[in-house]
């Protein structure tokens, strides 16, 4: 298997994505046949153009097929190997990729056999999978693994096939962790495409047209199935490899998960709360971590889907949780379905991005489409009960008179083929059944709290005109911030429009002190991943967010809805006061923690304050707080502010590492957040809500001084500003193809430019940074430069806000490539003699 390169240069394997051809064939009545397998391979071949190859025309990005365990075939081919298979359902089969080096392969077999014995199951035998690699290109051959199938029988403690399926899941995860922890040089070549008593996967770094030639088993008449899932991979700007081909164990996927890093972090944080009565005692702990390192976006979501299905949820239920349709602003959606989505939103954020996903648990098979419908999915039903679903029509040559139904998946919709009932279960029926399965409306009514219902708190601090300028200077405000940022937002409720590009230095190269926000750049949708039109497609966007403790993901109860729901992630001073006053009301308790450090202690003081903030958060959580409010109010000549972004991201990742992040919501009372980019970063690094108190106070001052539209009062100016911030954040999300604040929160859709790796790894974990630079000492120097401007040792003349010069050249402002001297020299150089 080509081991994907380690992170180097501009490449990092954590950003593997796919854009592919996907589909399935299924017989409505569950009738098995080899013809269905051959038809699925024909359909896969028709999607060859949706896959990709590199510089070698005979090396593909990946292709594969998933089908039911073919008992007749397996019984025939294992008999000569000296072991007999039990009846169908009482054994499991897996396909294992392994190194071709015999000693290492044998070491892997021994590790696996020991785990099987420890779990009380029976290892029946191994079978080498016949392959023909004569048609493969050099790249595929270079990393081709050896492949063996392993067969396991029920142990004495197994009660039914689903119980055995869960045990196989535990065995596989234990094996993966044991291999990863081993000292085998080629340990990364061990990979289980499948280990199940229901399904088998054949896949590889192949073209779609190579699959059945490479695996002669697929040509055997005895290999039959009632359904097949197939996939042809297009690896988007990434390296193909054998293990990244689809199908995975539960799904195939055409699309990209744009919020992947956040989804991974939230799942890691949720692990401490996981509990399930479905798994044998102690087995759940053996699965942790749920997500194996180094997987693609599809491999990652497959891990979570597998857990949720094995823990007892129906596949359709899992899909509704993880890829919900646009329900928040849907005026005609049945209320019971809205209640289902609202309840599940309290403990699972959307895995957002363009996605057409086919899914199966081995007993049913179906497909779903993301809320934007950005990947095509069409299906036919024939007279002979064949259902054909694919990324496009025409994958099989079916006479028109034999087709009884044609359809396509619409945005957010789903359909399921239930072979036991012998019919397609449509979206409305399927979701109605799931939405009616529990009293979600009652649970929400009893436990969910709207922000407007929270009792009023103490009156927020009154604006202080005398100290405003000093505090603005301490947080790095400039006159440009007032004129070009706050002014247009407060006047019109719109994010100020500017031209693309800048001729100023990167923050790390600037001679002027910068705010930390300037070291981060937003990432945007590209290649096969389209941005959204958040104006014309406003229905699919959502700005709701929640604060509070999450419940057990696997078996949540009514108390899972016990959260405060916010209509938007930006708070007024009065709304923040409501949250600060919570001290046991209906089970909610907040704790306010300072984001300040002693200026005289420099970088050591800043680092100590960050450590103390994390420790204080741990203590508050242990004491029962479920909302943490980080505040930089109280800045003074002695106390400098910790940048809100640094405090938020550092605490967020500290709690993720401690697996306590889902026990609290994080709110910021921030003096430095003022423009849209700032709010995007704070939300992207885990904040549930932000109160920009100094920006609001600055707008108060601008109203009093007549700097805004005549007749504009304070309340209207504040509401305009908050509206502009929210619209701006939605616009930025849409550029990355993300629809909801809930999925954007913690997703880290940014790149750091000019921050060193040690600083990134500690406070902004897993953020890409191709250009290194400064760390905590240099950042402290910039913070204290602003602080000294606010409280100079020797005041000289009147205190004024600096102009800034970021948007327009000023003699005392930021350097611009195009400045008066540049223009003069250009004019001089082009002057005719």
Whether 198 and 138 map to the same domain: the answer is yes
Local confidence band at 528 (pLDDT 50, 70, 90 cut-offs): low
pLDDT score of 18: 43
Cα–Cα distance measured from residue 697 to residue 553, given in angstroms and rounded to the nearest whole number: 41
Assess if residue 496 is contained within a domain. Answer: no
Assess if residue 43 is contained within a domain. Answer: yes
Strand partners, 546: 565
| Number of folded domains that form the chain | 2
Tell me: pLDDT of 527 over 70. no
Q: Which residues contact 101 (CB under 8 A, 6 or more apart)?
A: 186
Whether 276 and 293 map to the same domain: the answer is yes
> Residue 116 belongs to a domain with what CATH number?
3.60.20.10
pLDDT score of 200: 98
Cα–Cα distance measured from residue 496 to residue 487, given in angstroms and rounded to the nearest whole number: 9
Check: CB of residue 668 under 8 Å from CB of residue 644.
yes
Cα–Cα distance measured from residue 584 to residue 566, given in angstroms and rounded to the nearest whole number: 19
Q: Tell me the pLDDT tens digit for each residue of 743-794.
A: 999 999 999 999 999 999 999 999 999 899 999 999 999 999 999 999 998 8
CA torsion sign for 643, 649, 652, 653 is: negative
Whether 384 and 527 map to the same domain: the answer is no
Assess if residue 365 is contained within a domain. Answer: yes
Local confidence band at 539 (pLDDT 50, 70, 90 cut-offs): confident
Strand partners, 389: 24, 379
pLDDT score of 354: 87
Assess if residue 689 is contained within a domain. Answer: yes
Whether 254 and 143 map to the same domain: the answer is yes
- pTM: predicted TM-score of the whole model, two decimal places: 0.94
Tell me: pLDDT of 421 over 80. yes
Check: CB of residue 143 under 8 Å from CB of residue 1.
yes
What is the number of other CB atoms lying within 10 angstroms of the CB of residue 57?
9
Least confident stretch, 39-53, 221-235, 383-397, 771-785: 39-53
Q: Tell me the pLDDT tens digit for each residue of 137-169.
A: 999 999 999 999 999 999 999 999 999 999 999
Whose tokens are 């242990």? That residue is: 622
Whether 484 and 371 map to the same domain: the answer is no
pLDDT score of 2: 43
Whether 456 and 440 map to the same domain: the answer is no
Q: Which of 749, 766, 799 is the last residue of a domain?
A: 749
What number of residues does the chain have?
Answer: 833
Assess if residue 324 is contained within a domain. Answer: yes
Whether 359 and 456 map to the same domain: the answer is no
Report the DSSP pairing between strands 63-68 and 199-204.
Answer: antiparallel
In this prediction, residues 239-255 reach a mean pLDDT of 91
Q: Is 335 exposed, middle or buried (0-12, 13-18, 19+ CB in 10 A)?
A: exposed
Q: Which of 446, 477, 507 is the last residue of a domain?
A: 446
The domain containing residue 292 runs over which residues? 13-446
Whether 435 and 482 map to the same domain: the answer is no
Check: CB of residue 236 under 8 Å from CB of residue 528.
yes
Q: Is 601 exposed, middle or buried (0-12, 13-18, 19+ CB in 10 A)?
A: middle
Local confidence band at 496 (pLDDT 50, 70, 90 cut-offs): confident
Return the DSSP state at 484.
I
Assess if residue 717 is contained within a domain. Answer: yes
3-state secondary structure of 302: helix
Q: Tell me the pLDDT tens digit for each residue of 631-650.
A: 999 999 999 999 999 999 99
The sheet with strand 63-68 has its strands ordered as 199-204, 63-68, 227-232, 21-27, 386-390, 378-382, 403-408
- Which of 755, 788, 758, 790 has the alpha carbon at shortest distance from 773? 755
Whether 724 and 742 map to the same domain: the answer is yes
Assess if residue 120 is contained within a domain. Answer: yes
Whether 406 and 469 map to the same domain: the answer is no
Strand partners, 690: 570, 668
Whether 659 and 598 map to the same domain: the answer is yes
pLDDT score of 495: 87
Whether 160 and 75 map to the same domain: the answer is yes
Catalytic residue list: 20
Assess if residue 511 is contained within a domain. Answer: no
Q: Which of 720, 749, 778 is the last residue of a domain?
A: 749
> Residue 585 belongs to a domain with what CATH number?
3.20.20.70
């Amino acid at each position: 298997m080509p081991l994907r390169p380690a992170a180097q240069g501009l490449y990092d394997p954590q950003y593997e994505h796919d854009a592919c051809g996907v589909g399935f064939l299924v017989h409505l009545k569950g009738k098995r046949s080899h013809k269905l397998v051959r038809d699925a391979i024909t359909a896969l071949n028709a999607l060859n153009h949706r896959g990709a190859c590199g510089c070698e025309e005979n090396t593909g990005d990946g292709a594969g097929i998933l089908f039911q365990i073919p008992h007749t075939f397996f019984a025939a081919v294992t008999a000569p190997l000296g072991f007999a298979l039990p009846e169908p359902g009482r054994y499991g089969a897996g396909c294992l990729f392994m190194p071709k080096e015999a000693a290492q392969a044998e070491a892997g077999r021994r590790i696996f056999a020991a785990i099987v014995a420890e779990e009380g199951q029976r290892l029946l035998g191994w079978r080498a999978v016949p392959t023909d690699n004569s048609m493969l290109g050099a790249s595929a051959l270079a990393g081709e693994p050896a492949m063996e199938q392993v067969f396991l029988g029920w142990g004495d403690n197994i009660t039914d096939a689903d119980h055995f399926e869960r045990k196989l899941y535990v065995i596989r995860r234990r094996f993966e962790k044991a291999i990863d922890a081993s000292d085998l040089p080629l340990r990364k070549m061990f990979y289980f495409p499948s280990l199940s008593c229901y399904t088998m996967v054949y896949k590889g770094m192949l073209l779609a047209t190579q699959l059945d030639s490479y695996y002669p088993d697929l040509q055997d008449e005895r290999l039959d199935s009632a359904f097949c899932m197939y996939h042809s991979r297009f690896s988007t700007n990434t390296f193909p490899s054998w293990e990244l081909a689809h199908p995975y164990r539960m799904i195939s996927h055409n699309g990209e998960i744009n919020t992947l890093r956040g989804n991974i972090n939230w799942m890691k944080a949720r692990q401490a709360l996981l509990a399930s009565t479905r798994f044998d005692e102690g087995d759940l702990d053996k699965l942790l971590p749920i997500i194996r390192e180094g997987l693609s976006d599809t491999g990652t979501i497959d891990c979570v889907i597998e857990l949720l299905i094995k823990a007892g949820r129906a596949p359709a239920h899992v899909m509704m949780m993880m890829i919900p349709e646009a329900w928040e602003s849907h005026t005609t959606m049945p209320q019971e379905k809205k209640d289902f989505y609202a309840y599940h939103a309290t403990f699972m954020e959307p895995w957002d991005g363009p996605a057409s996903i086919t899914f199966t648990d081995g007993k049913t098979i179906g497909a779903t489409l993301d809320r934007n419908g950005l990947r095509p999915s069409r299906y036919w039903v024939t007279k002979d009960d064949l259902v054909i679903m694919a990324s496009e029509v025409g994958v099989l040559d079916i006479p028109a008179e034999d087709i009884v139904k044609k359809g396509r998946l619409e945005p957010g919709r789903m359909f399921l083929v239930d072979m036991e009932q012998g019919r397609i279960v449509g979206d409305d029926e399927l979701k109605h059944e799931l939405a009616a399965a529990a009293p979600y409306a009652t649970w929400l009514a009893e436990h969910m709290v709207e922000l407007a219902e929270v009792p009023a708190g103490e009156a927020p601090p009154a604006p202080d005109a005398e100290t405003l300028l000093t505090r603005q200077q301490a947080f790095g405000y400039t006159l440009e911030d007032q004129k070009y940022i706050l002014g247009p937002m407060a006047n019109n409720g719109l994010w100020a429009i500017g031209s693309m590009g800048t001729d100023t230095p990167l923050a790390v190269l600037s001679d002027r002190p910068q705010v930390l926000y300037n070291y981060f750049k937003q990432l945007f949708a590209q290649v096969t991943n389209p941005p959204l039109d958040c104006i014309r497609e406003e229905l699919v966007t959502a700005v709701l967010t929640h604060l509070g403790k999450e419940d057990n993901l696997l078996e949540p109860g009514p108390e899972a809805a016990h959260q405060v729901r916010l209509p938007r992630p930006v708070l007024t001073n009065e709304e923040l006061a409501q949250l600060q006053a919570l001290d046991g009301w209906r089970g909610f308790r907040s704790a306010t923690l300072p984001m300040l450090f002693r200026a005289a202690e420099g970088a050591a003081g800043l680092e100590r304050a960050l450590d103390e903030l994390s420790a204080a958060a741990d203590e508050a959580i242990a004491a029962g707080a479920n909302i943490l409010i980080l505040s930089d109010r109280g800045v003074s000549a002695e106390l400098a502010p910790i940048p809100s972004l640094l405090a938020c991201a550092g605490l967020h990742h500290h709690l993720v590492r401690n697996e306590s992040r889902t026990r609290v919501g994080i709110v910021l009372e921030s003096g430095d957040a003022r423009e849209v980019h700032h709010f995007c970063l704070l939300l992207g690094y885990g904040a549930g809500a932000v109160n920009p108190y100094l920006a609001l106070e600055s707008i108060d001052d601008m109203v009093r001084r007549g700097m805004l539209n005549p007749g504009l009062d304070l309340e209207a100016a504040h509401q305009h500003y908050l509206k502009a911030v929210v619209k701006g954040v939605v616009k930025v999300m849409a550029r990355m193809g993300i629809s909801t604040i809930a999925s954007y929160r913690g997703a880290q859709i940014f790149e750091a430019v000019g921050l060193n790796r040690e600083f990134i790894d500690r406070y902004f974990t897993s953020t890409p940074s191709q250009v290194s630079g400064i760390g905590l000492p240099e950042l402290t120097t910039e913070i204290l430069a602003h602080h000294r401007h606010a409280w100079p040792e020797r005041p000289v003349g009147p205190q004024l806000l600096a102009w800034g010069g970021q948007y327009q050249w000023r003699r005392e402002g930021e350097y611009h490539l195009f400045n008066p001297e540049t223009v003069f020299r250009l004019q001089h150089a082009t002057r005719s003699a």
